Chain A
Amino acid sequence: MELVQFNKNGGPVSIDVDIANANVWSYIYASDLTFTNKSSTGNPSHHILGLPVNLDDDINSWDIRLGNIGTSDITATVTITWKQDGHILNVWTQPVDVPAGAATKVSDDALLDA
């Protein structure tokens, strides 16, 4: 459970989702808006959560799914970085072991506080 504190008088809060060492993945990030992405889109994983006035005392939850279609086990690294006005508010990062030929999911939540 993460605590993400931000400036209530600042600009919008955003997240960057980075998934390294896995070529098959998808995620869902649930806030007031729901953000999804997957490895097949090739799009950058940057999302704007919204203005501070709408985020205070809110809960955000996310599930990141990783697939390993190879024949060797892998250890992927998933990272979410919360930013406001160019400043890093918080970083959540996890190593995730994915056995060969399998899929797994890593999840967590955050309390956002102004």
Chain B
Amino acid sequence: MKKIIFIFITGLIATSLYGQNPDSITIDDYYVDFAVPDITAFSILDINSSDVVRPGNIKELAVGIQNYIDADGSLKPGLAIEIAPYRLMAKALKVRSAWEQNKSFKNLQISIGTAQGDSSNLLAAWGINWTPIDRTDPVASKALQNFFANYLANRDSIANQMSFAGQRRKHLQDVNQFINSLSTLAGSALSPAEKVAILQYFSGGYRNRLLRYDSTDNQLYAIALKDSVVQEMVRLNIAINNTQDQTLSTLIAQNAKLTFTEQKEEKEFEKSFSEALKREKKIFIEENWNRLVVQFKTGSKYNSAENSVKDLALLNWRVFAGVAGRVPGLRNSNSTFAKRSQVIYQVSYINYKEKSMSLNWEFSTGGRLLLGKADKRLSAEFLYSQASLRGETTEKSEYIRYTIGGEMKINDGLWLELAVGGQKFLEGNDDARVVPQFGLKYAIQKKSRF
């Protein structure tokens, strides 16, 4: 595949060099960018993503906002909060079931931010990103979830060996039997609460026991455990004879063996789980990279001359919608073309309220056909754009762009793109009109791909 892409790209470069006019073409003229736009409050205001706060509950959210918005409506710069309402609300038990029934809201994110303007003014923005359907997401895949549920359950399968829970129960039954043989100095049997007070030293998760006694050495663990048990017995006025002391030592040795064996095996299991997860996710993405994705995004930017909520003035707002998936009609097909093709359709609209902008609004729509695999593919793109020019004229700018090329994933988020394309103005200033020509587009970009 790499060879095919190399030959194809070499051909494109040769064609583009032949056709292009260096005086009138820039790379951006031919750049039809079908990457998903980043419409968050932070990208609108150029806020560094490392400054973004993601509160884990309603209380943290309220505290975060209060620091930047006073009760009288005064605004301060520096607010940068992103919330995922599903996760926020799912933690509140009363509404958990209702939110769990609406899985589509799981990928809803709301962002708000404030930043200092050029002078004494303050800028504010909000953004909403919602991906109601994403069948390329391995985390949301029921099949993958079930695979790993079975993976976990198989570890405790009692078909081949006794589970750790079963082994611990048997061990604690032996300890309980030993405790039943004890009595206080007054000659009375131990109460259930007193029995639990001793049993607790032998029980629970292996991690807790290791932390409680010693995490590295079998013998130190046994000594520390015995010290704790004997101290508890003294507190409960229990005296033991030599035979009972030997039995206690035997039980403690069993507990130490059980604990360190479990620690070793669980460590190996956790490692194998993570490795299996990486492997299965990779397989999933290779098989489902072109499945259905639906996205909606919207956001607005405001200016406040007096740093107050009351005088916020709208500067611009934008909306985006995108759908990506297999070629229509091939959803369930097993053909090579179905597995190795993807169509994308996007619509974007921006409305500018600020007088300094040369446009009133801008609308664009277009599509893309991809052929290849998840990490390397050829593409053909088409974009139509219309914009209303600000000023005395009511003229519109209208053009189309088209490219063909290839793209290759270098690593997560980093893509190499090579393509040739053209642009043609359909309406607008005659001076700006250009005839279709080809130019080379190349970019290494670190963006999320649709």
Residues of A whose CB lies within 8 Å of any CB of B are 1-3, 5, 20-21, 23-26, 28-31, 34, 36, 38-40, 57-63, 65-67, 69-71, 101-109, 111, 113
Contact = CB atoms under 8 A, between A and B. Distances in A.
Interface in B156-182: 156, 158, 163-166, 168-169, 172-173, 176, 180
A97 to B, nearest CB: 12
Interface stretch (B9-17, B265-273, B395-403, B428-436): B265-273
A71 B137 CA distance: 11
A62 B153 CA distance: 13
Interface stretch (B124-132, B192-200, B249-257, B296-304): B192-200
Given A1-B204, A28-B156, A61-B165, A40 B266 contact: no
Contacts of A66: 152
Given A38-B149, A38-B153, A61 B196 contact: no
Nearest to B56: A75
Contacts of B192: 3, 5, 111, 113
Given A26-B156, A111-B196, A34 B166 contact: yes
B379 to A, nearest CB: 27
Contact of A111 (B149, B199, B270, B278): B199
Contacts of A107: 164-165, 168, 204-206
Contact of B200 (A1, A23, A25, A39): A1
A109 B146 contact: no
B145 A30 contact: no
Contacts of B447: none
Interface residues of B, number: 46
Pick the most buried of A70, A101, A105: most chain B CB atoms within 10 A of its CB: A105
A65 B265 CA distance: 14
7 contacts: A1-B204, A30-B166, A38-B150, A57-B180, A69-B139, A69-B145, A105-B205
Interface of B: 90-91, 93, 96, 138-139, 144-146, 148-153, 155-156, 158, 163-166, 168-169, 172-173, 176, 180, 192-193, 195-196, 199-200, 203-206, 266, 269-270, 273-274, 277-278, 281
**Would you list the 4 A-B pairs with minimal beta carbon distance, nearest first?**
A40-B146, A26-B153, A1-B200, A61-B169
A109 B156 CA distance: 16
Contacts of B93: 20
B148 A28 contact: no
B145 A23 contact: yes
Given A103-B269, A107-B206, 8 more contacts: A20-B96, A30-B163, A38-B150, A61-B172, A63-B165, A70-B139, A103-B148, A109-B203
B372 to A, nearest CB: 25
Pick the most buried of B153, B168, B270: most chain A CB atoms within 10 A of its CB: B153
A25 B149 contact: yes
B150 to A, nearest CB: 6
B153 A108 contact: no
A39 B151 CA distance: 11
A70 B90 CA distance: 16
Contacts of B281: 69
Nearest to B147: A40
